[in-house]
Amino acid sequence: MESHVDDRSCRELFALLSEYIDGELPSATCEEMDQHIRSCAPCIQFVENLKTSIRLTHEFECREKLAGLPPQLKRTLERVYEESLRRKAG
C-alpha cells in the first residue's frame, strides 16, 4: 500500500488544500491548483471528501448542553451589565 500523494504536484497541493478550499490562496497559486485538480481523479475525490468532512464539522453540535443558569447568577449578570452601561455613559 502506498500513499496517493507520492506525485510531487499532488503532495505540494495536499499541504495547501484547506487554504484552497477556504479561498485564502493568491489567485496564481489557486489557478495552478485548479488546473492540476481538474485533471487528477484522486485529487478531485480527496477534495470532495475533505469538503464533506468540513461541512459535517460545521454542522456539529455537542450532545452535552448548558443547563439553565441559576436565577441568582442571572440577576447578578443583569446587575453588572447595568453597572457597566452606567460606567460607559458616565
Which residues does 34 contact at the CB level (< 8 Å), separation at least 6?
none
Q: Shortest Cβ distance from residue 31 to another protein (Å)? A: 19
Cell of 84: 457597566
Nearest CB to another protein, comparing residues 34 and 74: 74
Cα 67 to Cα 64: distance, rounded to the nearest angstrom: 9
Told to check if 38 binds another protein by CB under 8 A, we report no
Query: Mapping DSSP to helix (H, G, I), strand (E, B) and coil, where does residue 68 land?
Result: coil
Rule CB under 8 A: which residues touch another protein? 1-5, 14-15, 17-19, 22, 24, 40-42, 45-46, 48-50, 52-54, 56-67, 69, 73-74, 76-78, 80-81, 83-85, 87-88
